[in-house]
Amino acid sequence: MAHTFLIVTMIFQILSVLVFLARVYTRAFPTWRFTLDDYIISLAFVLMFALQWASESWALPSTQPPFMTLELFTYDAKIGSISLPFWAWSTGLVKISIACMLLRFQQSRPWRYFLYLMIAMNVLLIVILGIANLFQCIPYQSWWDFRIVDKKCWSMKAMLATTYLSGACNVSTDIVFSLMPLTFLGKIRRPLKEKIAIGFLMALGMIASGFSMSKVIISALPSRKDRYISPTLLGLLSCLEVQTSLIAACIPTLRSSSKRFFSNMGIKWSSSARTAYR
C-alpha cells in the first residue's frame, strides 16, 4: 500500500507541477497577463505543494518497519493530519479559479449568476472545512499524538456529516464545471478531433469528482481491523482529487491565452469584450 501511495501520488504530482508551470509561463511571457483566476490557482498550488513531499515521506523504503520509530511515526501522522485541510482548501480554490475563468467566457446573465453562486458555495465550504478540521478534536494535536487521553472530539455522525457535505459540494461542482462548456460550445461546428479534445478536458473534472465520491464511500464503510488502511486511502484520494482538479484547470490555458484556445475552436470575441481572456 505504501509503495502504491508513493508511486501514484508522485506521478500525478509531477504532471500537475509541469502543467501548472506551463500555465504560469504562458501567462507571464512575453508579457505579464495574470488575472484573478491565475492568482487563485497559484495559491491553490502552493497549498497543495507545501507539505506534499513531507506527507509522503512515510512511504519511502527507509521509513518502513523495522526502521520506523515511534517518533517518526508520530511526525508522519502530524504532517498527514495537517496536510489534509491544506489539500481540501487547495481543492476549493482550484474550483473557484475554474469558475472565475468560466466567467470570462460565459456571457449569459443567468449562467453568470449561477457561477457566482458556485463561487460563494466553495468559499463557504472552505470556511466550514477550516473550522471542522481545527475543532473536530480538542486539543488539535490529539490527531497525531496518541498519548493524549484527555481529549474531546465530535461524534462520528458529526464527522461523517462534514465528509458528506464536502463530498456532495465537490462532486456537484466538478460535474457542473465539467458540463458548463456545453452551454457555449454546443453552438459551434468543429472537427471530430477537436470535439474529442474538448471531451477529454471535460472528463478530467469528472475524474476528480470520482475521487471525491470515493472518499465519501470509504468514510461510510465500517471500521477495518487495520486502522491505517482507511486513513491511507483517504490521503491517497485527497491527493489525487486536488492534483487532477489542478491539471483540469490548467490544461485549457496552456496556449498563449485562453482566448486563442477558444478562437481555434470557433469561438471569437471582440478585443473589447469584457469576458475575453487576455
Helix axes 229-250, 70-105, angle to 10 degrees: 30
Residues 6+ apart with CB under 8 A from 206: 174, 175, 178
Among 88-102, 106-120, 144-158, name the one with the lowest average pLDDT: 144-158
pLDDT at 270: 45
Number of separate domains in the chain: 1
> Dihedrals φ, ψ of 245, to 5°?
-65, -45
- Using an 8 Å Cβ cutoff, are 102 and 66 in contact? no
pLDDT for position 38: 92
Q: Is residue 145 part of a domain?
A: yes
Q: Which residue range(s) make up the domain with 55?
A: 2-260
Instruction: Check residue 2 and give its pLDDT.
Output: 54
Whether residue 41 contacts residue 103, with contact meaning beta carbons closer than 8 Å, is answered with no
278 inside domain: no
d(CA 249, CA 252): 7
Is residue 114 in some structural domain? yes
Cα gap 266→107, rounded to integer Å: 16
Most confident of the ranges 2-6, 136-140, 183-187, 190-194:
136-140
Using pLDDT thresholds of 50, 70 and 90, give the confidence band for residue 275: very low
Grid cell at residue 63: 521509513
Question: In whole angstroms, what is the distance from residue 11 CA to residue 52 CA?
Answer: 13
Rounded CA separation 167/221 (Å): 15
Average pLDDT score over residue span 17-22: 91
Tell me the HSE value of 62 on the side-chain side, using a 13 A CA sphere: 3
The mean pLDDT of the chain is 76
The set of cell numbers assigned to 22 is 506551463
Contacts of 105 (CB under 8 A, 6+ apart): 184, 258, 262, 267, 275, 277
Strands (E), the chain: 137-138, 152-153
The answer to whether position 40 is within a domain reads yes
CA 241/CA 188 separation, integer angstroms: 31
CB contact at 8 A, 81 and 133: no
What per-residue confidence (pLDDT) applies to 224?
53
Look up residue 105 and give its amino acid. Answer: F
In contact, 171 and 212? CB cutoff 8 Å? yes
| Inside any domain, residue 269 | no
Instruction: For the chain, give the percent of residues with pLDDT over 70.
Output: 69
**Predicted TM-score (pTM) of this structure:** 0.78
Q: Which residues pair with 153 in a beta bridge?
A: 137
Residue whose C-alpha cell reads 470570462 in the numeric block: 104
Residue 86 pLDDT > 90, yes or no? no
Decide if 268 is inside a domain: no
pLDDT over 70 (residue 218): yes
Per-residue pLDDT at 72 exceeds 60: yes
Does pLDDT of 251 surpass 50? yes
- Is the pLDDT reported for residue 263 higher than 70? no
246-255 average pLDDT score:
80
Which pLDDT belongs to residue 269? 45
What average pLDDT does the segment 205-234 reach? 71
Cis amide leading into 65 (omega within 30): no
From the CA atom positions of the chain, what is the Rg in Å? 20
Task: Check which CATH number belongs to the domain holding 141 and give it.
Answer: 1.20.1070
Q: Are 164 and 215 in contact (CB under 8 A)?
A: no
Q: Is residue 275 part of a domain?
A: no
In-domain check, residue 271: no
